[in-house]
Amino acid sequence: MEMIGHGGKEIIERVMAKDAALKRVAEMKAAKVKTLDVRLQLATEILDIAYGFFSPLEGFMTKADVEAVCNNMTLADGKTVWSIPIVYDISSADLEKSGIKQYDEVLLTYTGNPFAIFDITDIFTLDTKEVAMKVYGTTEEKHPGVKRTYQYQDKFLGGKITLLNPPKINEPFTKFWLTPKQMRERFKEKGWEMIINHQTRNVPHTGHEWLMKGAYLGAYGSMMVDKPRGGVLVNAMIGSKRPGDYIDEAIILCQEAQGKHGYFRDDIFLTTCTLWDMRYAGPKEAIFHACLRTNLGCTHHMFGRDHAGVGTYYDPYDAHRIFERLPKGSLNITPIFNLDWWFCPVCDEVTYMGLCGHKDKKASFSGTLIRSIIQDGVKPPRRIFRPEVFDMIMECAEKYGFGNAFVTEDYLKNRQPVFTIEPLK
């Protein structure tokens, strides 16, 4: 089947078959090649690269790529749209100790086990302040994406990655993690021709539910009844967490619950996850999400109010406006721009900025309101949370969150990892 990803190129998996990988690791060990053990942040992106989530990237960016991303919002080819640097950082001291030079082939390990081959073609430095300004529009360290940028070590390695050892995705994420190729196969099984992606890092209240329903209605509004339809893909971002975020387990299981309990017909709804540390880059991250979901095989992508934003760094609709700046045809996915959904006590329903005439009476689904409802643990009206979704939040808090649906220090320290890399044998 067709596996064309972002940039119009075939999705490339850079994953070595097991027998070949075993042989290769034995050879590399015999030849005493240099090795580096990677941290979770890098391991996550190695998986994304190897399975084609970041297609057409086949490895970590070179300096030319990072500069093009910062200056032109493209890769170094000058035409493939890309908005967030994907980099491998290392300290000068570690680089020196490892003896790694340009054009070395390096064995990467994760938690001590063979993981990937890294063909290093570029060793470089970056002005992280400049990168922060160009990607995030600010140099304030309070911004979590900027903070991550400033935490990079002082040297960067660019080059292709080949995965040697596939991850074991742990429960409850196992069935939700599908590679771009698996995702497309699933769409084919379901007979979906149009796939509307909903990006999320939340458990769904009815505002989110209606956001998705609104996008679905919009996308199919002009389609005749007999045409093959498609569905809504909820693709949750699972990755590094900050205290106060929803725990990953609650996000994925509560999203699934909407389909399980019929708020969406089972044949038009699918919940999956992608491993990605949110950068909260607002408009730039919206573009990145569009590229990523193109690789997953989606045809449409929803962008909500303050998409991937944080604090007051971006205007709530900057992440919509940025699409106007892209050259025509540079993305193979159609954006659906959602305005604000709220609960209106006069209409007595969940409604929408573009419809409801009682703006002054609206009750917004503010983070603070939703958080206090969840922390109270008392079942709210079903107009705010579907009862089955709310029950699942409470269940996840007990089962995975050490009593809390939100990330705590306890959770950060003691949670089960989302994936593990086991010994290769």
* Site for Zn ion, rule CB under 5 A: 344, 346-347, 356, 358
Q: How far is the CB of 359 from Zn ion (least distance, A)?
A: 8
**Closest to Zn ion by CB, 141 or 349:** 349
* Least distance (Å) between residue 315 CB and Zn ion: 24
Task: Give the residue with the Cβ less far from Zn ion, 26 or 355.
Answer: 355
Closer CB to Zn ion, 16 or 211, in the complex: 211
Our CB check for Zn ion shows the closer of 336 and 344 to be: 344
Pick the closer one to Zn ion by CB: 152 or 341.
341
CB of 351 to Zn ion, least distance (A): 5
Nearest residue to Zn ion on Cβ basis = 344
Find the shortest distance in angstroms from Cβ 190 to Zn ion: 36
Task: Kindly tell me which of 339 and 424 has the beta carbon lying closer to Zn ion.
Answer: 339
Closest CA to 273 of 256, 288, 285, 286: 256
Report the first-to-last Cα separation within the chain, whole angstroms. Answer: 32
Nearer Cβ to Zn ion (289/362): 362
Side chain identity, residue 258: Q
- Nearest distance, CB of residue 152 and Zn ion, angstroms: 48
Nearer to Zn ion, 276 or 343 (CB): 343
How would you classify the pairing of strands 300-303 and 334-337?
parallel
Minimum Å gap between C-beta 338 and Zn ion is: 17
Residues 380/390, Cβ–Cβ less than 8 Å: yes
Q: How far is the CB of 205 from Zn ion (least distance, A)?
A: 18
Of 139, 406, 43, nearest to 249 by C-alpha is 406
If the CB atoms of residues 133 and 347 are measured against Zn ion, the closer one turns out to be 347
Q: How far is the CB of 357 from Zn ion (least distance, A)?
A: 6
User: Minimum CB separation from Zn ion for residue 364, in Å?
Assistant: 13
